[in-house]
Structure 1
Amino acid sequence: MDDIVAGFADRPYYDWQIAHERVVDAQDATTRPISLEDRLSDALADNGIGDLYEHQVRAIEAVRDGRNVVLSTPTASGKSLGYTVPAVERAMDHGGRTLYIAPQNALIADQEESLSDLAASLGFGSRVSVAQYTGRLSDDEKRSVRDRRPTVLLTTPDMLHYALLPHGHRLWDWFFRSLETVVVDEVHEYRGVFGSHVSLVLRRLARMAERFDADFQYVACSATIGNPVEHASAVTGQPPSSFTLVAEDASAHGPTRWLLWNPPLHAGGEGRRRSNHVEARRIFTDLVQRDLQTLVFTRARQAAERYAQQSADRLRDRGKSDLANRIAAYQAALTPDRRRELEADIDAGAVRGVWSTNALELGVDIGTLDAVVLDGYPGTRMNTFQQAGRAGRGADESLVVLVAGEDQLDQYVMAHPDALFDGDPERAVVNPANEQLLDEHLACAARETWLGPDDEGVFGETLPDRVSGLTEEGVLARRTTDEGVRWVYDGDGSPQHEMSLRTIGDREVQLQARGDTIATLALSDALRDAHPGAIYHHQGRTYEVTDLDLDRHVATLSPSWADYYTNVLTDKEIRVETDLAERHPFDRDDVPVRFADISLTTTVTGYERTDGTTGETLSRHTLSLPPQTLRTKALYFTIPADLERTLRTMGDFEGGIHAAEHAIISMLPTTVLCDRRDVGGLSTPMHPHTGASTIFVYDGYPGGVGLVRAGYDGIRDLTAATRSMVRSCPCADGCPACVQSPQCGNANDPLDKGVAIALLDALFGDDSMAIEGPT
């Protein structure tokens, strides 16, 4: 790779922008023999699998010993054999069944093909049969699956929720009676709202299996996260002590050359950098031209399509039409057949360059590639290494280029590369105790099989109160049986089909263009993104919202050629309902941090139009929209009066606490797996609950899904990283790389970076640095 890296300096459009270079050393495989049934050993050999890696053997042995297992190793380390071997052994021995659950249909199709090939190699009479059960099957195909009664069934959490559990006694009793293994693949994907829903679906699965006297084990497969056992336990409802952790990768890989690539600042534009998209496209084109099979990860579907086309055009301009015709875009909106075709072409090397969303981040088998380019920091260390793990062809050296954007996390990684390579992995969190979610799933559980006192062990100690409330609302009905008091669902229809696993119950607004619904948004999102006058982008087209009818829940859109974008302006009020916990994490002991149950009232008061090229504010407009109230969780801390007096002498105090709030929110993904849009904040020079200047950071979902709780638990490290990020930014007054936020409801006004630094310094007892300004 030395000549390729050096070649970047020869291109006139680069300005030698490598902020950091590192080589991750190669690793030899560590294998260990394991006793396998002859037919299984031969079938694995037929599929190109010889000796098993140490981590695969450890996982198989733990399952054989009756343990739950968490396999937490990198991409392409062969995690699937950790559950494949036990699944096949149990099916061959006595017809024991396995349920495989994955978050995406593409993963299910990939696993079905691999498992079916293995089953075919076992020969007739092996008792191993494989089928997927997804929403893409027709009714006849679904009936055929049930009639064939496979020993390995592959599905999504959604289908488990909508189709299997509601009909467990009538259509699936044969499956649940002999269920022995449940595989939860990509368990790190189950976090936040979706993960909290899935955690309750799996608790319902445990109830159903118990009704049929089935005793199954979990095998959870995860990327490298900071809390694999804790997270698997929270998702599955099984005690942490029941899990064996297998986390040391014993697979072989060649050396990986990492380049952290920071686009230069625009001349005269403080804090504004050259586009990471343009840089990534140039790097990608050069690598493909140098005959490196290259994959770029970018964030948006339309970006993947657009930049793939532009890259192909650049290659044609260079006289490389043969390569231009072998460039592709991969994203979730493609048809299943087209995705499978692309995966096969990538694996075979027919496609030489791919632009992809994170749809290729998960375990879909596309072989290995020469190089991966990350178009912007993916947001977390976990996602970064998941995506980078696609590079690596045998023992050959591979290349990963991380091209930074201009926001806080990207620039933090450029300035602190050790935080990326040597820092602690982020934690994944769920909140199955969220009362709004729990009530919905209790209704589903009571529809599937009646609720009883024993279910407190499944759903938690709040069950009696929740059941009592649902009974008063007429959702559940109390029954006296020979076995004691029970509760049954007392509503009409199917509660499963009245809820989505991807949201927390919110009214939805239809976005209509020319009479057709092109998308739907939750009401809270529609007030922000689909208000009258909003510019809305969808599938590569630009629209202006001409009307928002909240009675009909319809937003009307018209095609637009607008070259500006819109941001809402909001007023927020926070009422602290209950303080739940308190800690003193800072060197200043008079700054306690509290975790609380809060009510947040948000009113969209207007919006501003911003030039899409210069970022200049073009105009402001008022709106009259109803306030929305969110009951959620927050962390907060107050500013002691003596410190506030000092900070007020240094600049704009309100701007300083506002800037600090923005910066803390931007760095939360360094602690917990989330997007900064999942949380919000409020800073105020006087709050009625505290009687002092206060900074709040709140969970953006009703009831909270554990994000801010994780931030509260790690608040000292989070604040230390925030301080380091803000101080290392070279700008003088604050920019998108430190204290500005694209989600700010006050248009980033006021902000005072210097006061924010002084505040963060003071929390750690360092008042001397506060006066010096940024370094």
Structure 2
Amino acid sequence: MDETVDWLRGRPYYEGQVTDYRVFDGRDAQFRDVDVDQRLEGALASDGIDRFYAHQADAIEAVRNGENVVVATETASGKSLAYTVPAFERAMENFGTTLYIGPQVALINDQAETLSALADGLGFGSRVTVDRYTGQLSRTEKEAVRERQPTVLLTTPDMLHYGILPHAHRLWEWFVERLETVVIDEVHAYRGVFGSQVALVLRRLNRVCERFDAHPQYVCASATIGNPREHAARVTGRPESSFALVDTDTSATGPRHWLCWNPPEYEDDGWGSGRRKSSHTEAKRLFVDLVTRGLQTAVFTDSRQTVERYATDSADELRQRGHADLAGQVGAYQAALTDDRREDIEQQLHDGSLRGVWTTSALELGVDVGGLDAVILDGYPGTRMQTFQRAGRAGRGTDPSLVALVAGEDQLDQFVVRNTDRLFETHPEQAVTNPENDALMPDHVRAAARETWLRPDDDRHFGDTFPDVVADLESRGDLDRRTTDAGLRWLYSGAGSPQHEMSLRTAADREVQLRTRDGDIIGTLPFDDALRDAHPGAIYHHQGTTYEVTDLDLTHDVAELDRTWADYYTRVLHDKTITVEEDFEEKAVDAYPEVPVRFAEVTMRKQITGFERRDSNSGEVLGERPLDLPETTLRTRALYYTLPPDLDRALRERGDFAGGIHAAEHAMISMFPFQFLCDRRDIGGLSTPMHPHTDRSTIFIYDGYPGGVGLARSGYETIDDLAETTLEMVTSCGCERGCPACVQSPHCGNANDPLSKSVATDLLNALVTGDLPTDGGN
């Protein structure tokens, strides 16, 4: 691998782009003995497992001791044995059942095959039977699963929500009353809206289990995150103190070579440096180089459309270099593919017949594709957790592997490649979820009442707002109050199935279909996303094809698309206002006590006014068009802070005040993913020189989902750390006026106008140090 790295660094077009090169030594495995049933020991040995890593032994013993367990270790560290051994033992001893929950069907299928093969190795009469129960099964196949009564059942949160809990008393009683173990795989994936929804589903599961006098243990498997015990508790509804934490990885690894890679700058475009060439084209060139040198390579990128486009472009470049054979061995992997196609790619990666793949996070989770030689990260994945999760896909046993992080031009990417110690030497981010979300709670309480009657003490599961939610649902006629010998009860009295009236994957209740001229439906988007990405004139990429949206029919919620060869992309412009509905908490900034920070409920109103066309290569604005679209509203949670008169006055004297607070808002939002597991679009903001609620200049940062998912609250609680990290990011950027690497935002609805980096720096410095800006300052 050293030879490959030297060769890459010596290529003329890569000169000066490597900002850091590190080699992390491999480690020897640490083992510990665990006594297991002789048949299970034999089956494991047949699968090549004759010893347990020490962390596997710790987890197995904790489960045996009756504790809930969260295992937070690296990719490919054998976390699955922590639940496999106890699950099989319990089935063999007393027909105890295990429910395995995974976030993706591909992961379910992969795990089901592995566990089924192990169960077959136990021989006839072991009592261990494995089945999957997903939305891919036909009605007849689902009936057959229930008739077989497996002891290990694998499903998704969606199918638990739609297909199991609503029928627990009629179709699944045999399973729930014997339920001893609930496995939550990839628990770090349950964050934001999806995590909040799943947390409420699991609270409903806990209620149903109590109804059958079942008290299962939770075994959670996680990537390395900053708060594994707390997060596992929030997701499962169990006390944090009940979880044993296993987070020391004792598996064997080979040396891992890390390259941090910064694409070259454009020539000075008036911003005083900072504009960089596309990470996609740099990642493509690096990918082709590695594949031609014989390294099986995966490129992780965050857009399905990028995956499709650059997998095609990579194959074309391989042909141009005279490697037509390798061009046919490059694939694109993303969640929108058919199940058969995904499974085919997984198998080809595993057996080595596919030499390279462009992929979204769909391949990040625990699907077994063997070990790759190299991983390229096309852009910083957004969090350190995701960075190392994806990097963990590289490496076969103790063989050396290569990871290359190719930075984009935005704030997080550039901060990371300029401050690589922060990447490699700081703790991973915290996962955030909010099962108390008042926009999600009512639907789940209705569903819970449909599954088994509600009782006053169900606030143990649903929190302090539960009585108010029940009272509201009762007044609307959704719940029927009964007084029984056992006490007060509520039953669901509405029509239909409340479970089928909501989706776990989104907080949206309205979707827009994307339809081609031929009438094919190529996808759907939540309503707000459709206004942004599928407005008339928008450019939309799908499966290697570029489309232009020719019409958006909001009466029937259909967007019409037509193929195009356009070499530009589109970005919407919008106006926003925020109304403060209720202030919940207030505190002061540590270094500047005169600056109050509040946590509040707010309503954000957004009006999309038009869109820009931008050159695909340079990002240059090619033109602007108006749009006539409806206003949208979002009731959510926000943190906001106001500037006291002395700081306000000092900043106004320094220059463009409105541009300064706007730039500071952008910068703080951009650094949220450096502290919490979230996407850049999960957070929004607004800055105003005068807000009617405060009568002062005010900066808002809000959750991008109805009811909030906990991000704004987390930012409120850590505002001082957030301000310090943001100041470090802004001041470490070498541009003069502000650029995409510090204060510009690709999601700004005002086309990044106005912005003032110098005034933003003064503001952030005041928040961190308490010092007012002076003429001798920045």
For this structure pair, what is the TM-score category when the shorter chain's length is used for normalisation? over 0.9
1:468 and 2:471 matched: yes
C-alpha separation in 2, matches of 1:440 and 1:338: 35
Secondary structure at the counterpart of residue 454 of structure 1: helix
Distance 1:441 1:390 in 2: 36
Aligned equivalent of 1:755: 759
Aligned to 1:729: 733
Preserved contact between residue 278 and residue 617 of structure 2 (Cα < 8 Å)? no
Which is further off, 222-231 or 533-542?
Answer: 533-542
CA contact (8 A) 2:660 2:755 kept: yes
**Comparing 487-496 with 474-483, which one deviates more in the overlay?**
474-483
Partners in 1 of 2:325 and 2:51 — Cα distance? 40
Corresponding residue number in structure 2 for 1:383? 386
Structure 1 residues 77 and 646: alpha-carbon distance in aligned structure 2, compared to 1, 3 A threshold: same
Matching of residue 439 in structure 1 with residue 466 in structure 2: no
1:664 equivalent among 638, 661, 668 = 668
Out of 702, 710, 716, which is 1:706 matched to?
A: 710
Equivalent residues of 1:757, 1:773 under 8 A apart: no
**Which residue is 2:174 aligned to?**
174
Shift of 1:505: 4.1
Structure 1: 5+ residue runs without aligned partners?
none
Task: Give CA deviations for 1:216-236 in whole Å, capped at 9, x if unaligned.
Answer: 000000000111011100000
1:518-537 to structure 2, matched below 5 A, reads 518-537=522-541
Q: Deviations over 1:176-208 (max 9, x none)?
A: 010000000000000111110000100111111
The 1:608/1:281 distance shift into structure 2, 3 A limit, reads: closer
Q: What do the CA deviations read for 1:397-444 (whole angstroms, capped 9, x no partner)?
A: 211111111111110001110111011211111111111211000111
Return the offset for 1:487. Answer: 1.0
Match of 1:157 in 2: 157
1:261 equivalent in structure 2: 261
Mapping for residues 44-443 of structure 1, pairs under 5 Å? 44-269=44-269, 270-443=273-446
- Whether the 8 Å CA contact 2:723–2:768 is kept in 1: the answer is no
Which residues of 2 match residues 471-482 of structure 1 at below 5 A?
471-482=474-485
Work out whether residues 502 and 509 of structure 2, in 8 Å CA contact, stay in contact via their aligned partners in 1: no
Pairwise mapping of residues 535-550 of structure 1 onto structure 2 (< 5 A)?
Answer: 535-550=539-554
Task: Report Cα offsets for 1:372-421 as digits up to 9, x if no partner.
Answer: 11111111000000000011222222111111111111100011101110
Question: Letter of the aligned partner of 1:101 in structure 2?
Answer: I
| Post-superposition offset of 1:148 | 0.4
Number of the residue aligned with 1:696: 700
Aligned residue identity for 1:350: S
CA displacement at 1:332 relative to structure 2:
2.1
Matches of 2:774 and 2:429, distance apart in 1: 29
| Change in 2 beyond 3 A, CA 1:49/1:547 | same
Aligned to 1:510: 513
SS of 1:401 mapped into structure 2: strand
- Distance in 2 of aligned mates of 1:618 and 1:645: 38
Cα pair distance change 1:80/1:701, threshold 3 Å: same
> Percent identity between the aligned chains?
63
Matched AA of 1:345: Q
Letter aligned with residue 27 of structure 2: Q
- Answer yes or no: is 1:642 the counterpart of 2:646: yes
CA contact 2:128–2:150 (8 Å) conserved in 1: yes
1:756–1:305 Cα change, 3 Å: same
TM superposition shift of 1:78: 0.3
For residues 618 and 317 of structure 1, the distance between their equivalents in structure 2, rounded to whole angstroms, comes to: 31
Name the residue aligned to 2:743.
739
Amino acid at match of 2:484: T
Q: 441-450 vs 535-544, which deviates more?
A: 535-544
Counterpart check, 1:450 vs 2:453: yes
Asked if the contact 2:330/2:355 (under 8 Å) is kept, the reply is yes
Q: 1:18 to 1:614 in 2, by over 3 A?
A: closer
Q: What is residue 659 of structure 2 aligned with on the other side? A: 655
Q: How does 1:598-677 map to 2 (within 5 A)?
A: 598-677=602-681
Instruction: Call closer, same or farther: CA 1:771–1:356 in 2, change over 3 Å.
Output: farther
State how far apart, in whole Å, the 2-side matches of 1:602 and 1:764 are: 31
In the other structure, the counterpart of 2:13 is 13
| Alignment match of 1:684 (pick from 685, 688, 696) | 688
CA distance in 2, matches of 1:530, 1:686: 33
Cα shift readout 1:550-580 (whole Å, capped 9, x = no counterpart): 3333334444444333322222221112111
CA displacement, residues 207-263 of structure 1 (integer Å, 9 cap, x when unaligned)? 111111111000000000111011100000000011000000010101111110111
- In the TM superposition, what is the alpha-carbon distance from 1:65 to its structure 2 partner? 0.6
2:555 aligned partner, one-letter code: D
Conserved? CA contact 1:194–1:501, under 8 Å: yes
Q: CA separation in 2, counterparts of 1:564 and 1:389?
A: 35
The alpha carbon displacement at 1:519 in A equals 3.0
The whole-number CA distance in structure 1 between the counterparts of 2:733 and 2:353 is 43
Question: Which SS does the other structure have where 2:586 is aligned?
Answer: strand
CA displacement at 1:773 relative to structure 2: 7.6
Distance in 1 between residues matched to 2:572 and 2:291, nearest whole Å: 41
User: C-alpha displacement at 1:157, in angstroms?
Assistant: 0.3
Aligned partner of residue 207 in structure 1, secondary structure: helix
Aligned to 1:553: 557
| Preserved CA contact (<8 Å) 1:511 1:519 | yes
Residue identity in the other structure for 2:361: N
Deviations 1:610-646 (A, max 9, x none): 3334433333343343322211100011112111222
**Residue of structure 2 in register with 1:28 after alignment:** 28
Paired with 1:760 and 1:639, the residues of 2 have a C-alpha distance of 11
Shift of 1:656: 0.3
What is the distance in 2 between the residues matched to 1:303 and 1:626? 29
By how many angstroms is 1:516 displaced?
Answer: 4.4
Q: Deviations over 1:301-349 (max 9, x none)?
A: 3322332333333333333344333332222233323322322222222
Q: CA RMSD in A?
A: 1.8
Give 2:766's aligned amino acid. Answer: A
**1: CA distance, partners of 2:75 / 2:728:** 30
The TM-score, its normalising length taken from structure 2, stands at 0.96
How many matched pairs? 774
The residue that corresponds to 1:719 in the other structure is 723
